[in-house]
Structure 1
Amino acid sequence: MSEKVLENKRRSLFRIIVISTAAIVFVPILYSGIYLSAFWNPYGKFYNVPVAFVNLDKPIVKNGKRYNIGKDIENNLRKNNSIGWKFVSLNEAKKGVNGTSYYAAVIIPEDFSQKISAAAGGNLTRPILLYEANKGKNFVFAQVSERAAESIKAEIASSIQEQTVKALASSLYDVKNSLLTASNGANALQNGTEKLLTGSRQLSTGLTAAANGANQLQNGLKQASAGEAQLSTGIDSLTNGLNQFKNGLTQNAGSLTQLVNGANAVSNGVSTIASVANNANVSQNLASAANGIVQIKTALSQAASILASSSDPQSIAQAQGILNGLINTINTNNLEGNLRTAAGNARILTSSLNQLSTVAKQVAAGTNTLSSTLATNQKNAVSGINQLIDGANKLKSGSQGLTNGLNTATQNTGSLASGLTSLNTGASDLTNGISAANSGATKLKDGLSSGYTTMSSNLKFSVENISSFVTNPLTLSDVSINSVPYYGQGLAPYFISLSLWLGAMLMNLIISLTKLSKIIEYKFFKTYTGVFLVGSALVMLQSVILSFVLVNALGLSPSNLALFYLENMFISVVFFSIMYGVSYAIGIIGTPIIFILFILQLASSGGTFPIETAPSFFRAISPFFPMTYTVEGLRMIISGINASRLTQITIFLIIFMLIFLLGGFIINRTFKGLKTIKAEDD
C-alpha cells in the first residue's frame, strides 16, 4: 500500500476520532440535559393529567342543617388546577380508568353526607371516600393522585373535626353551667341538711321529753284509774243518798199535811181557849194550852229538822226561817211559862190568850203558805232528784267506760312510751345519718364549687376558637435548609454524576482507540501524563458545557455558581482518572469493567431514594464507589454547603483518583517489565 493511501486513511481516521470526540463532549448534556429538561418540574404540570371525579352523594337535611358534602368538594375541585379534574359519571370514570382516558378516579358515594351528618350527631360511622387508580399506567402519578385523595380526605376530616369539636365544646359549656347549677343546688341541699340536722336534734330532744311525758302520763293514768274507781264508789253512794232523800221527801209530804192540820187545830184551839178564857176556868185551860204549846214546839222542831234536809235551798231557807221564827217567838215570849203563869194570874190571861190566838192564826197562815211552797218545792225536788238519779246512773255508765278507757289508755301509753323510746333511738340514728349526709353535702358543695371554679378558670376559649384550634392545632413553620424548588433540580446531582461518568467513559474509550491506531505521533500524547492531561481537559470541557446548559437553559440555581462549575470539572477529572488508570493497567478490556462499575453505582449511590431504602448489598458497597460522594457533594453545592463535609468528600475523591492513577501506572509498568524479562529470556 502506497504512503499516500496510508496518509489518507490516517487523516480519515483522525477526522472520525475528532468528530467522535466532539460528539462525546456533548454526551453528558444530551443525557442529563434532555432527561432533566423533560422532568424538570413535572409536579407543576399535573394540571394536564386527567383524573376523574364522580359525585354520587345525595344531600340530606338533619336538625335543620343541610349537608351536601359531595357538592362542596366538587365546587372546591373545580377551582383547583393542580390536577386535571374531569367531572364525569361513574360508568365513564370506570371505563376511563380501565382504558386510557383517566389515570385515576375519586368517587364520592351516595351516603357520604348522611354518614357525616350522623358523625356530627355522635354516631361515629366513618364515611368512605373511594379512590381508584390505574397504577400500572404511571406509578409515580398514581402516588401523586393518591396524595390528592388523601388531601381531600384530610379536608373532609377537618370539617368533621370542626363540627365534632364544636359539639364537644358546647357540651363542655353545658357541663360548666350544669356544674354551677349543681353547685347552687348542693349549697341549697347543704343548707337543707343543716336545718334538717338541727330539726333532727330538736326532734330527738322532743322525743326524749315525749318519752318521759308518756311515762308520766302512764303513771297519771294509773292514778286516774284508781281515782275513777273511788269516783264510781262515790257515785253509788250518791245514788243511794238521792233515793233516800227522795223517799224522805215523799214521807215529808204527809208530815206537812199533819203540820198544816196541827197548825189549824192550834189556831182553832187557841181561839177557843181565848173565847173560853174570857168566860171561865181560864187557869185550867191555860195549863192545857201550855201543854199544847209544848207539842207545837216539838212539831215545829221536827218540821225544821225535816226542812233542813230539803234540796231547795231558797224555799227551805224561807220555810226554815218562818219555823225558826215561830220557835224563837215561842221561846222568846215564853208562852209556856206565861201560860202557866197566866193560869195563876187571871188578870192578864185574857190579853195573853188574845195574843196567842193572833200568833196561832199567823202560824196557821204561815204553815199553809209553807205547806204550799214545800209541796211545790218537793215536787220540783223529786223531779230534780229523779234527774240526778238518771245522771248518776249515766255517770256510773260513763265512769265504767272511763275506767275501761283509762285501763286501755294506760296500756297504750306504755306502748307509746316504749315506741317513743325506740323512736328516740331511731331519731338519734337519724341525727347521726343526717350529720353524715350534711358532711357529704358539704363536701359535694365544696367539690362542685371547686369543679366549677376550675372549669371556669380553664374553660377560657370560645366554641369557634377551640374548634378552629383542634381542627388545625399545629402551624408548620418550614425552616428547612437547602431548599430544592424543582423535581429536576433534586435529581440533577444524580444525573450530572451519571452523565459525567458516561462522558468520561466514552472519552477514555476514544483516547484508548486513538493510542492503539497510532494516528497521533506527538510524543506528548504518547506519555502517561500527556494522555491524562489531554483526557482531563476534554472531560472538563464536557462538564463546563453541561453546567452552562443546566444553569442557563434549565434554570438550575446552585448555591455557589463558581463552585458548581469547579466541582463538575473536578468530578470529570476524578471519573476520567479512574477509567484511565483501569485502561492503562489492563488495556481496552477495562471498558466492560468500567461499565459494570457504572451499573453498580446506579443502585448504590443513593441518587433517587435514600441509600437506607436500598437492599443491604448496595448499602454495603455504597461507601466504596466514587459516585456516592459526587452525588452528595453536588447536592450540597446546589442546595446548601456543609464545608466540613464537602472537604471530606473532596478528600475521598482525590484518594479515588490517586489510587486508580498510581495503581494503573504501577500495574502497567510491572506487566511491561515482566514481558521484557520474558522476551530477553527467550
Structure 2
Amino acid sequence: MSEKVNKDRRKTLFKIIVISIVAIIFVPILYSGIYLYAFWDPYGRFYDVPVAFVNLDKKVIKEGKEYNVGKDIEDNLRKNNKVGWRFVSYDEAKKGVSGTKYYALILIPEDFSKNISEAASGNLVKPTVLYEANKGKNFVFAQVSERAAESIKSEVASSIQEQTTKSLAGSLYNVKDSLSEANKGASSLVDGTVKLLNGSNQLDTGLAKAATGAKQLQSGLEKAYTGEAQLTTGVDSLLSGLNKFKGGLTQNSEGINQLVGGAKALSDGMAAVASGTSKANLSQGLTTAADSIAQIKGALNQVASILATSSDPQSIGTAQTILNGLVNTINTKKLEENLRTAAGSASSLTNNLNQLSTAASKVSAGTNTVASTLSTTQSNALSGVNQLIDGANKLKGGSQELSNGLNTAVKKTGELASGLATLNNGTKDLSNGLNSLSDGTVKLRDGLNSGYNTMNNSLKFGIEDISSFVTNPLTLSDVSINTVNYYGEGLAPYFISLSLWLGAMLMNLILSLTKLSKVVQNKYIKTYLGTFIAGSVLVMLQAVILSSVLIAALGLQPTNQFVFYLENMFISVVFFSIMYGVSYAIGVVGTPILFVLFILQLASSGGTFPIETAPGFFRVLSPFFPMTYTVEGLRMIISGINSIRLTQISFFLLTFMLIFLISGFVVNRTFKGLKSIKAEEE
C-alpha cells in the first residue's frame, strides 16, 4: 500500500513537473512577446495621442505682401496625422494640459506673422512658438511632442530663410548690375580723366604763354602810361596855345575894328582934304592926315601879323593878299613924309590931293571888304577855337582818366602776371594730381571690372535656386547600415536575451527540483551530461518557440532567419550552461545568485541606451557578462551581420559556457570527494 502511494505521488509530481516545464517553455515568449508586441511601433501610433494646437496669430500685410503664417502652419498640421492634433482655444488647451486631456500644447502668438514680416524686411525680431508639455504625464511622448515643436520651428525658419535669401540674392544681383554700371562709369571716368589730363597740360602751356603775355602786357602798359603822361603834357600845351590863339583872335578883332575906323577916318580925312583944300589951316589937316596914315599903317601891319597866325588858311590868305597889295600900293612912309613935308609947304600937295583922295576911297572900300571878310573869318575861327578848347579840355579829362586807368591796369596786370604764374604752378600740381587720378581711375576701373567678373562668375544661380539651396543647403543621403525599422526591433535583442535568461533560469530550477525529488528514474538523465542535454533541448525549444512567434506574429525580419534561430538556440544553451554549472556546483542556493546576475546584466548589457551612457561601475562589469555579447550578436543578426565580430561573440559565449560547465562539475566533484573523505574518517 505504501509503495502504491509513493508511486502515485511520483506520478502526480511528475505531472506537475511536466506542466511546469511546459509553462516555463513559454515564459520567454510571454515575457518578450507581450512586451515587444505592446511597444513594437509606438511612434507609429502617436496619431491617437492628443496634442492641443492654439493659433492666436493675426495676419499682417506689409509692402504689398500678406503674412498669415499661423494659418499656414495650422493648415499643414490638419494634414499631419503624426500626432492627434486638437485645434482648440487657449483656455481649453491650458486647462487640458494642466489636467489629463492633452499631453502638450503648441501656441502660435498673435504677433507671430508681424515678427516674421519684420524679420523679412531686415528688422531681426525673432518670432516665438510657445511649447508646453505635461512631462509628468509621459516623459517619452513629451520628447516626441517637443520634436514636433522643433519641426514647426524648422518649417517656419525655412520659410524665413527662403524669403531672406531671395531678398539677399536679389540684392547680390543688383550689386552685380551696379558693378557693371560702375565699371562703365569708371571707364568713362578714365577717358574723361585722360581728356582732363590732356586739357590740363594744354592749360599749363596756355597759362605759361598767358603769364609771358601778361608780363609783356604790363611792359606795354607801362610804356603807354609814360606816353599818356606825355600826351597830358601836350594837351596842356595845346590848351595853353589855344587860349593864347583865342586871345589873339580877340585882339585881331579889335585891330580890325581899329582898321575899319582908321580907314573910315582916312576916307573922311581925304574927303575933307579934297574938299577942303581951299580951307584954311591946311597944314593942320595934312598933319592930321599924316597921323591917320601912320595909324592905318600900324593897323595894317597888326592885321597882317594876326592873319599870319589865323587857323583859316583860305580867308587869311585872301585878306593877307589884299593887305599886302595895299601896303605895297601905298608907300605910307613916303606918303607920310610927303604929307608932313606938305604940311610945311601946302602948295606942293595940291596936285597930289586928288590922287590921295582916290586912293583913300579905295583903301576905305578895300578895308571894309577886308573887315567884313576878317569879321566872318574871325567869328568862325573863334567858334572853332572854342570847340577846339572844349575838345582839348575833354581830351585832358579823358587823358587823366586814361592815366588813372593805365596806372590801375599796370598794377592789375602785375597782379595778373603774378596770379598767372601762381596758377601756372597750380596747373602743374593739377597735372601731377590728374596723373595720380588717372592711375587711380584705371585701378578703380580694373577693380570694378574684376569685382564684376568675380560676381558674374560666382552668381551662376537664379534667385529661386539660391533661395532653395540656402533654405535646404544639403541633402541627407541616408546610407545607414544595419537598418532598424521599428522601435520593437531595436529592443528585441535586449528582451530576447532577458527572456532566454529568465527561461533558462526557471528551467534549471525545475530540473534541479526534479533531480532532488527523484521523480525521474532514468539513470542517464540523472547523470551530469544527461541533465545538461535534457535541459539544453528544453531551452532550445524555448528559443525556437520565441523566434517563431517574433517572426510570425510581430513581423520581425532578421537578415537571416536560420542564423536567427540558430543564434537564439545557442544563447539558450549558453545561459542554461551557466545556470546548470552554478546549481550543480552549489545546489539550489545558486538560484538567488543567478537572479542577482540577471539584475546586474539589465544595467550593464547596453540593451536600451549605449553602455557609454551608463555609470562607470556598470561599464566595468559589462565585458564580464554574457548578456552583453548576446545583445550585440542578436543586433547584428536582426539588422546586419558582421561575420568577424559575430564569430568573436560566438567564441566569447562558448567560453562562458565551457567555463561554467567545467567549473560546476569540478566544484561538485571536489565537494563530494571532501564529503567522502570526511565520512570515511568518521
**Whole-Å separation in 2 of the counterparts to 1:24 and 1:360:** 200
Q: CA deviation at 1:317?
A: 5.2
Q: Give the corresponding residue for 1:20.
A: 20
Change in Cα spacing, 1:544 to 1:435, as seen in structure 2 (3 Å) is same
Whether contact under 8 Å (2:255, 2:299) holds in the other structure is: no
Q: Give the corresponding residue for 1:93.
A: 93
5 Å matches for 1:324-403? 371-403=371-403
Whether contact under 8 Å (1:310, 1:316) holds in the other structure is: yes
Q: CA deviation at 1:505?
A: 0.6
**Whole-Å separation in 1 of the counterparts to 2:673 and 2:570:** 33
Q: Give the corresponding residue for 1:42.
A: 42
Q: CA deviation at 1:296?
A: 12
Letter in 2 for 1:104: A
What SS does structure 2 have at the residue aligned with 1:607?
Answer: coil
Between stretches 179-188 and 497-506, larger displacement belongs to: 179-188
Whether contact under 8 Å (2:574, 2:654) holds in the other structure is: yes
Q: Give the corresponding residue for 1:9.
A: 9
What SS does structure 2 have at the residue aligned with 1:212?
Answer: helix
Q: CA deviation at 1:200?
A: 3.3
Letter in 1 for 2:110: E
Q: CA deviation at 1:381?
A: 1.0
Letter in 2 for 1:631: V
Q: CA deviation at 1:408?
A: 3.5
Residue 112 (structure 2) pairs with residue 117 (structure 1):
no
What SS does structure 1 have at the residue aligned with 2:520?
Answer: coil
Whether contact under 8 Å (2:501, 2:598) holds in the other structure is: yes
Change in Cα spacing, 1:359 to 1:625, as seen in structure 2 (3 Å) is farther
Q: CA deviation at 1:427?
A: 3.3
Letter in 2 for 1:650: S
Change in Cα spacing, 1:436 to 1:314, as seen in structure 2 (3 Å) is farther
Residue 54 (structure 2) pairs with residue 76 (structure 1):
no
Q: CA deviation at 1:564?
A: 0.8
Q: Give the corresponding residue for 1:275.
A: none
Q: CA deviation at 1:506?
A: 0.6
Whether contact under 8 Å (2:636, 2:642) holds in the other structure is: yes
**Whole-Å separation in 2 of the counterparts to 1:41 and 1:441:** 71
What SS does structure 2 have at the residue aligned with 1:554?
Answer: coil
Whether contact under 8 Å (1:297, 1:327) holds in the other structure is: no
Q: Give the corresponding residue for 2:282.
A: none
Whether contact under 8 Å (2:255, 2:302) holds in the other structure is: no
Q: CA deviation at 1:256?
A: 5.2
Letter in 2 for 1:164: T
Q: Give the corresponding residue for 2:536.
A: 536
**Whole-Å separation in 2 of the counterparts to 1:321 and 1:113:** 127
5 Å matches for 1:258-277? none
Change in Cα spacing, 1:383 to 1:588, as seen in structure 2 (3 Å) is same
Q: CA deviation at 1:416?
A: 3.3
Residue 623 (structure 2) pairs with residue 623 (structure 1):
yes
Letter in 2 for 1:628: T
**Whole-Å separation in 1 of the counterparts to 2:652 and 2:517:** 35
Change in Cα spacing, 1:434 to 1:521, as seen in structure 2 (3 Å) is same
What SS does structure 2 have at the residue aligned with 1:650?
Answer: helix
Q: Give the corresponding residue for 2:677.
A: 677
Whether contact under 8 Å (2:166, 2:464) holds in the other structure is: yes
Q: CA deviation at 1:610?
A: 1.2
Q: CA deviation at 1:621?
A: 1.2
5 Å matches for 1:521-560? 521-560=521-560
Change in Cα spacing, 1:359 to 1:433, as seen in structure 2 (3 Å) is farther
Change in Cα spacing, 1:584 to 1:358, as seen in structure 2 (3 Å) is farther
**Whole-Å separation in 2 of the counterparts to 1:668 and 1:316:** 187
Change in Cα spacing, 1:510 to 1:384, as seen in structure 2 (3 Å) is same
**Whole-Å separation in 1 of the counterparts to 2:172 and 2:531:** 83
**Whole-Å separation in 1 of the counterparts to 2:528 and 2:639:** 38
Q: Give the corresponding residue for 2:224.
A: 224
Letter in 1 for 2:658: L
Q: Give the corresponding residue for 1:128.
A: 128
Normalised to the residue count of structure 2, the TM-score between the two structures is 0.86
Q: CA deviation at 1:164?
A: 1.0
Q: CA deviation at 1:301?
A: 9.3
Q: CA deviation at 1:136?
A: 1.3
Q: CA deviation at 1:204?
A: 3.3
**Whole-Å separation in 2 of the counterparts to 1:512 and 1:6:** 20
**Whole-Å separation in 2 of the counterparts to 1:359 and 1:579:** 200
**Whole-Å separation in 2 of the counterparts to 1:366 and 1:677:** 212
What SS does structure 2 have at the residue aligned with 1:482?
Answer: coil
Change in Cα spacing, 1:621 to 1:256, as seen in structure 2 (3 Å) is same
**Whole-Å separation in 1 of the counterparts to 2:516 and 2:79:** 66
What SS does structure 1 have at the residue aligned with 2:553?
Answer: helix
Change in Cα spacing, 1:377 to 1:120, as seen in structure 2 (3 Å) is same
Q: Give the corresponding residue for 2:353.
A: none
Whether contact under 8 Å (2:258, 2:299) holds in the other structure is: no
Change in Cα spacing, 1:363 to 1:523, as seen in structure 2 (3 Å) is farther
Q: Give the corresponding residue for 1:663.
A: 663
Letter in 2 for 1:564: F
Residue 139 (structure 2) pairs with residue 139 (structure 1):
yes
Q: CA deviation at 1:308?
A: 4.3
Whether contact under 8 Å (1:54, 1:105) holds in the other structure is: yes
Q: Give the corresponding residue for 1:584.
A: 584
Q: CA deviation at 1:220?
A: 2.8
The CA deviation string for residues 449-486 of structure 1, in whole angstroms up to 9 with x for no partner, is 32223222322322211111111111111111211111
Change in Cα spacing, 1:169 to 1:250, as seen in structure 2 (3 Å) is same
**Whole-Å separation in 2 of the counterparts to 1:363 and 1:572:** 189
**Once the two structures are aligned, what percentage of the paired residues are identical?**
71
Change in Cα spacing, 1:679 to 1:402, as seen in structure 2 (3 Å) is same
The CA deviation string for residues 12-59 of structure 1, in whole angstroms up to 9 with x for no partner, is 111110100011111111111111111111111111111111111122
**Whole-Å separation in 2 of the counterparts to 1:549 and 1:314:** 164
Q: CA deviation at 1:359?
A: 12
Q: Give the corresponding residue for 1:654.
A: 654
Q: CA deviation at 1:358?
A: 13
Whether contact under 8 Å (2:326, 2:363) holds in the other structure is: no
**Whole-Å separation in 1 of the counterparts to 2:320 and 2:453:** 100
Q: CA deviation at 1:254?
A: 5.3
Q: Give the corresponding residue for 1:108.
A: 108
Letter in 2 for 1:486: Y
Between stretches 442-451 and 186-195, larger displacement belongs to: 186-195
**Whole-Å separation in 1 of the counterparts to 2:27 and 2:202:** 112
Letter in 2 for 1:478: D
Change in Cα spacing, 1:360 to 1:207, as seen in structure 2 (3 Å) is farther
Change in Cα spacing, 1:296 to 1:98, as seen in structure 2 (3 Å) is closer
What SS does structure 2 have at the residue aligned with 1:419?
Answer: helix
The CA deviation string for residues 168-199 of structure 1, in whole angstroms up to 9 with x for no partner, is 11221222222233333333444443343333
Figure out how many residues of one structure are paired with residues of the other and give that number.
642
Q: Give the corresponding residue for 2:205.
A: 205
Q: CA deviation at 1:393?
A: 2.8
Whether contact under 8 Å (1:60, 1:114) holds in the other structure is: yes
Whether contact under 8 Å (1:44, 1:82) holds in the other structure is: yes
The CA deviation string for residues 407-462 of structure 1, in whole angstroms up to 9 with x for no partner, is 33333333333333333333333333333333333322332232223222322322
Q: CA deviation at 1:557?
A: 0.8
Letter in 2 for 1:657: M
Q: CA deviation at 1:265?
A: 11
Residue 430 (structure 2) pairs with residue 430 (structure 1):
yes
Q: Give the corresponding residue for 1:55.
A: 55
Q: Give the corresponding residue for 2:495.
A: 495
